[in-house]
Structure 1
Amino acid sequence: MYAAKSNAFLAAGLFLALASAPAMAQDTATRTETAAPGKSVRILIASNLKDDCKPGSMPEIRISTSPKNGSLITKTGSVTTPSSHKCPNKKTAATGVFYQSKDGFTGTDEVVVEVKKADGKTSTQTITITVGGSAVKGGDDTKKSATDL
């Protein structure tokens, strides 16, 4: 009888401890990108900057859902943050995720990418990629300048 009460008390205490513990911060976002058929386009970039704008560890990238009609690659390099960024005009290390459709494919594709940032926060991005069509202008990475990524 004593052991049963002790186990019940322990279980209740564990439940309360877990229920009151802060959850890891996780952001979710849904967005769209455009790509020319068969051309590589950067769909995501994650820097190593922490909340205080100091460099930290490189972000951890995990592909939760791979594209059905193309492929993804990651590249490490550097970027300069835009003037509108929380840490403006700062050159920093970053990882980029690039999408390229299968030859001849036009239509939409979707990927889900999880990024664990230098500050420990995790974000999940669902990215819908429109391949081909009138919205695509060139299909290269010219809109994402001032970077080696």
Structure 2
Amino acid sequence: MQSRPAVHLAIPVDDLDAARRFYGDILGLDRGRSSDHWIDWDLYGHQLVTHRVAGEITAQGLSEVDGHRVPVPHFGLLLRTADFHVLADRLRTAGVEFVIEPYLRFPGRPAEQWTMFLRDPAGNALEFKAFADETQVFTR
């Protein structure tokens, strides 16, 4: 059986303990290999690596999308709808502040999707979304 391709993403953090709490305890990701300078995370089958860096980590900018100010750059993941809502509830319970609260975009249209934006403790912007019909991800 051939495995599906997976993404490898490395992001900067200024505090590995804060990253450990956020990605492990709050997001519920399984931890992989680690050192004093980095931690591997299983992001739903994709490899996310939090690398400790010296200095300030700053956001780059905002882009207008559907009347919301979307942080750029950001990274994220497409989830199944049920997983999206479980994660949104988990984040609310943990008291995570959303940049953009979970909401439904394009209701009743081919690209109907749930989306939410948040930041990790280092300020990295994350987006999670779920399409009503996963075959419509790239529909124009």
Q: TM-score, normalised by structure 1?
A: 0.27
Structure number, greater radius of gyration: 1
Between Structure 1 and Structure 2, which shows a larger proportion of helix residues? 2
Q: TM-score, normalised by structure 2?
A: 0.29
